[in-house]
Chains A and B, each alone.
Chain A
Amino acid sequence: MEKLSFRHTTRTALPGTRASAITGVVASGNLEVLLERNLAPDACHVEIDTAIKGYAEVWAAVVADFVARRQPGGLTITINDGGARPDTVSLRLAQGARLMELP
Chain B
Amino acid sequence: MMDWRQERTARDARLARARPHADGKVVPAARVVDLLEAILQPGDRVCLEGDNQKQADCLARGLSGCDPARVHDLHMVQSGIVLPEHLDIFEQGIARRLDYSYSGPQGGRIAKMLYGGQIELGAVHTYLELFARYFIDLTPNVALIAGVSADRDGNLYTGPNTEDTPTVVEATAFKNGVVVAQVNEIVDRVPRVDIPGDRVDFVVEADTPFYVEPLFTRDPGAVTETQILMAMMAIKGIYAEYGIRRLNHGIGFGTAAIELLLPTYAERLGLKGQIATHWALNPHPSLIPAIESGWVKQIHCFGSEVGMDKYIRARPDVFFTGSDGSLRSNRAFCQTAGLYACDLFIGSTLQIDLQGHSSTVTTNRVAGFGGAPNMGSDPHGRRHPSDTWMKAGQEAGGTGDPALRRGRKLVVQLVETFGDKLVPAFVERLDALELARKLNLELAPVMVYADDVTHIVTEEGIANLLLCRTLDEREQAIRGVAGYTDVGRGRDHAEVERLRARGIIRRPEDLGIEPLDADRSLLAARSIKDLVHWSGGLYEPPAKFRNW
5 A-B pairs whose Cβ atoms sit less than 8 Å apart in the complex: A69-B507, A85-B422, A90-B460, A95-B516, A99-B516
Q: Which residues of A have CB within 8 Å of B458?
A: 87
A65–B417 CA distance with the chains assembled, in angstroms: 16
Q: Which residues of B have CB within 8 Å of A98?
A: 514-516
- Evaluate contact between B518 and A91: CB separation under 8 angstroms: yes
Encode A50-71 as 1/0 by CB contact (under 8 A) with B: 0000000010011000000100
For A95, give its contact among B416, B489, B515 (CB under 8 Å).
Answer: B515
Q: Chain B's nearest CB lies how many Å from the CB of A30? A: 9
- Evaluate contact between B514 and A87: CB separation under 8 angstroms: no
For B226, give its contact among A61, A62, A87 (CB under 8 Å).
Answer: A87
- Name, among B226, B489, B515, the residue most crowded by chain A CB atoms within 10 Å (CB to CB): B515
Interface flag for A34 (CB, 8 Å): no
Identify 7 new A-B residue pairs, CB closer than 8 A, beyond the known A91-B226, A94-B508: A85-B422, A87-B226, A87-B418, A87-B459, A90-B459, A91-B229, A91-B459
Q: Which residues of A have CB within 8 Å of B416?
A: 85, 87
Q: Which residues of A have CB within 8 Å of B442?
A: none
A58–B422 CA distance with the chains assembled, in angstroms: 12
A99–B517 CA distance with the chains assembled, in angstroms: 12
Q: Which residues of A have CB within 8 Å of B449?
A: none
Closest to B225 in A: A91
Interface flag for A86 (CB, 8 Å): yes
Instruction: List 6 tightest A-B contacts by C-beta distance, closest first.
Output: A94-B515, A87-B459, A86-B484, A87-B226, A95-B515, A98-B516
Interface residue SS majority, chain A = helix
Closest to A69 in B: B509
Encode B505-539 as 1/0 by CB contact (under 8 A) with A: 00111000011101000000000000000000000
Q: Chain A's nearest CB lies how many Å from the CB of B414? A: 13
Interface flag for B483 (CB, 8 Å): yes
Interface flag for A38 (CB, 8 Å): no
A61–B483 CA distance with the chains assembled, in angstroms: 10
Q: Chain B's nearest CB lies how many Å from the CB of A57? A: 9
Given the interface pairs A62-B484, A69-B509, A98-B514, the reply to whether A88 lies near B489 with Cβ below 8 Å is no
Given the interface pairs A61-B484, A62-B484, the reply to whether A88 lies near B514 with Cβ below 8 Å is no
Q: Chain B's nearest CB lies how many Å from the CB of A68? A: 10
Encode A27-58 as 1/0 by CB contact (under 8 A) with B: 00000000000000000000000000000001
Q: Which residues of B have CB within 8 Å of A61?
A: 484, 489
- Evaluate contact between A87 and B417: CB separation under 8 angstroms: yes
- What total count of A-B pairs have CB within 8 Å? 43
- Evaluate contact between A88 and B225: CB separation under 8 angstroms: yes
A98–B509 CA distance with the chains assembled, in angstroms: 12
A94–B416 CA distance with the chains assembled, in angstroms: 17
Closest to B513 in A: A94
Closest to A57 in B: B489
Q: Which residues of B have CB within 8 Å of A69?
A: 507, 509
- Name, among A62, A94, A98, the residue most crowded by chain B CB atoms within 10 Å (CB to CB): A94
A66–B313 CA distance with the chains assembled, in angstroms: 50
Q: Which residues of A have CB within 8 Å of B518?
A: 91, 95
- Evaluate contact between B417 and A86: CB separation under 8 angstroms: yes
Closest to B484 in A: A86
Given the interface pairs A91-B226, A98-B516, the reply to whether A86 lies near B489 with Cβ below 8 Å is no
A88–B417 CA distance with the chains assembled, in angstroms: 11
A58–B488 CA distance with the chains assembled, in angstroms: 11
Q: Which residues of B have CB within 8 Å of A58?
A: 484
Given the interface pairs A61-B489, A85-B422, the reply to whether A91 lies near B515 with Cβ below 8 Å is yes
Q: Which residues of B have CB within 8 Å of A90?
A: 459-460, 483
Q: Which residues of B have CB within 8 Å of A87?
A: 226, 416-418, 458-460, 483
Q: Which residues of A have CB within 8 Å of B514?
A: 98
- Evaluate contact between B483 and A86: CB separation under 8 angstroms: yes
Q: Which residues of B have CB within 8 Å of A95?
A: 515-516, 518
A62–B485 CA distance with the chains assembled, in angstroms: 11
Q: Chain B's nearest CB lies how many Å from the CB of A46? A: 16
A95–B517 CA distance with the chains assembled, in angstroms: 9
- Name, among A62, A87, A90, A95, the residue most crowded by chain B CB atoms within 10 Å (CB to CB): A87
A99–B516 CA distance with the chains assembled, in angstroms: 8
Q: Chain A's nearest CB lies how many Å from the CB of B511? A: 13
- Evaluate contact between A86 and B418: CB separation under 8 angstroms: yes
Encode B385-404 as 1/0 by CB contact (under 8 A) with A: 00000000000000000000
A24–B439 CA distance with the chains assembled, in angstroms: 47
B residues 252-270 touching A (CB-CB < 8 Å): none
Closest to B229 in A: A91
Q: Chain B's nearest CB lies how many Å from the CB of A47? A: 20
Q: Which residues of B have CB within 8 Å of A88?
A: 224-226
A62–B483 CA distance with the chains assembled, in angstroms: 9
Q: Chain B's nearest CB lies how many Å from the CB of A62? A: 6
A87–B516 CA distance with the chains assembled, in angstroms: 15
Q: Which residues of A have CB within 8 Å of B418?
A: 85-87
Q: Chain A's nearest CB lies how many Å from the CB of B222? A: 12
A residues 66-103 touching B (CB-CB < 8 Å): 69, 85-88, 90-91, 94-95, 98-99
A88–B226 CA distance with the chains assembled, in angstroms: 6
Q: Which residues of A have CB within 8 Å of B489?
A: 61
Closest to A94 in B: B515
